[in-house]
Amino acid sequence: GAGVSQTPSNKVTEKGKYVELRCDPISGHTALYWYRQSLGQGPEFLIYFQGTGAADDSGLPNDRFFAVRPEGSVSTLKIQRTERGDSAVYLCASSSEAGGWGGYTFGSGTRLTVV
């Protein structure tokens, strides 16, 4: 596609529920990143994929968070037993090379609200 697409744009869920957030990167981009942005803060790194594998998942806050990228393109971020503290904008970015020398293209994000 022309840009990085994230769906849904908004998600409201009840505490304790399971949610999935989808990211469709630019076609051909091998590197994919998930970030979380809380109000008034910069993006915080969650996980980085190179191809199908998670090259770095050191930013995932706990084992309720998991992400997959089974075919090396679309990625899904999964959050189990959601908590109110998970409320944030979840951003996805992709780049055409592992090093990101060309810059990173971001999607518009999914705003997750846990009530």
Partner 1 sequence: AQSVAQPEDQVNVAEGNPLTVKCTYSVSGNPYLFWYVQYPNRGLQFLLKYITGDNLVKGSYGFEAEFNKSQTSFHLKKPSALVSDSALYFCAVRTSGGSYIPTFGRGTSLIVHP
Residues binding partner 1 (CB under 8 A): 4, 6, 31, 33, 35, 40-45, 48, 50, 55-56, 59, 91, 93, 98-101, 103-109
Q: Least distance to partner 1 from the beta carbon of 16, Å?
A: 27
Q: Least distance to partner 1 from the beta carbon of 82, Å?
A: 22
Q: Least distance to partner 1 from the beta carbon of 29, Å?
A: 13
Q: What is the phi/psi pair of residue 55, to 5°?
A: -75, -25
One-letter identity of residue 1:
G
Q: 85: phi > 0 → left, psi -120 to 50 → alpha, else beta; which?
A: alpha
- Of how many residues is the chain composed? 115
Q: Which residues of 36-71 are buried (b: 16+ CB within 10 A; e: fewer)?
A: beeeeeebeebbbbeeeebeeeeebeeeebebebee
Site of tokens 């990167």: 25
Judged by CB, which is closer to partner 1: 14, or 42? Answer: 42
Judged by CB, which is closer to partner 1: 59, or 72? Answer: 59
Judged by CB, which is closer to partner 1: 41, or 80? Answer: 41
Q: Least distance to partner 1 from the beta carbon of 18, Å?
A: 25
Judged by CB, which is closer to partner 1: 75, or 107? Answer: 107
